[in-house]
Amino acid sequence: MNYFFRYGGAMIGAAEKRAINRVINSNYWPLASEGEKMEKEAAKFLGMKYGILANSGSSAGLLALASLELPQGSEVIIPATTFPTIFNIIIQCGLIPVVVDSKVGTYNLDPDELEQAVREKTRAIICVHAVGNPCDMPKVMKIAKKHKLYVIEDNCDGWGGELHGKKVGSFGHLSFTSFHAAHIVAMGQGGGVFTNDRELARRARMYRDWGRQSDIERRTNGSKWPSLPADQDARFIYEKIGWNLSPLELQAAMGRVQLRKTAGIKARRKANFKYLFKHLSKFGDLILPIWLDGADPSWFAFPLSTCGSRAPLIAFLEKNGVETRSMFAGNILRHPAYKNVEYRTGGYLDDANYILEHSFWIGCHPRYGKRDLDRVIKLFDFFYAEPTNGYLNRPDKQGL
């Protein structure tokens, strides 16, 4: 499809190319000094103590959850509207997903419904900041403290966002993000885990690096592990059953350049979001996004729901060069992969079902300006001006 208006894609300039080429010319590509600097700089940006890079946001989510080392069969609460790999990590860690509803407009979980879903086996919550829209983290953290639960923030979409002046991704015990080319800050492909807990950071790093030990300062074992020779190279001592989820050094070098551009990228995304919001608000068929008071989102995309069928609108936009995406999985439980998976629901999933059938997003990418946005808005004008595209109002969804 030849799109004139795409939702994502990294904006790579001369500085990024120089950083990548510097590493390529070094002839050593595994994660090294650039990776260490990126981890420290990204953690500092969030106001967190520790950062651990990964090869994707999905891998970062797996490392974050694995680092908690929860007992098998423990429950983890997650919203129904999520990316599938983030749901999958719960299963991969031998845990039970507890699925709560996501709300039309915010596309996030409702803290009140979250608390009603807590049971004796519940040990953790994964909050998804859908398309960069901050979840109500102060309420979530209050509930978590009351019930002694861990909180992980899925901040794959919202790097640079804030809530009440505090960086999104710095509220929970851990957070993870994506540095994929489509996201706010890009490493081409990559992700990261962030925490203030030294032990959780140590575990995440070990799980990333084959399960290799991470805290013997000397080159050799010494007396720490009596089952191994005293002169065993510490790089070949394995404490965990881990994976190889590290990115490349050249990706980290590119990410460091992108990280310094966060404020400008966020500002342009916000401006595009604001312009689209202003001009799309006139269409009664469209349910526009809602965000919290005190939120300053770094918008990954512009989410929309229709009161009538979304299919004709999406087909029209796609035909005329505007890229669209469904709202992640909508209701994750309705996908065939999870037909025989053990899970529990935390109440009705009515809004998630509505999102599955009526919601989608378009871009607010910083590469586009007023001329591009006006062209998109004109397409909406054309679509809704056609009598055969008359929309069916859903009174219970109006005014959300």
Separation between Cα atoms, residue 270 and residue 131, nearest integer Å: 12
Residue whose C-alpha is closest to residue 154's, from 197, 120, 109, 209? 109
Q: Torsion angle, CA of 296/9/60/117, rounded to 10 degrees?
A: 50
Separation between Cα atoms, residue 318 and residue 362, nearest integer Å: 10
Enclosing H/E stretch for 350: helix 350-358
Separation between Cα atoms, residue 263 and residue 231, nearest integer Å: 49
DSSP state letters, 308-332: S-SHHHHHHHHHTTB--EE-TTSSG
* 183 a catalytic residue: yes
Helical residues (DSSP H) of 73-223, grouped into ranges: 84-92, 111-116, 137-147, 198-208
Separation between Cα atoms, residue 383 and residue 399, nearest integer Å: 22
Task: List Cβ neighbours of 88 (8 Å cut-off, separation of 6 or more).
Answer: 58
CA distances from 75 to 43, 110, 238, 342 (A): 28, 18, 28, 11
Q: Which of 183, 279, 335, 365 is catalytic?
A: 183
Q: Running DSSP on this structure, what letter comes out for residue 42?
A: H
- What is the distance of C-alpha 237 from the center of its chain? 32
Q: What is the CA angle 25-26-30, rounded to 5?
A: 115
Catalytic residues: 183
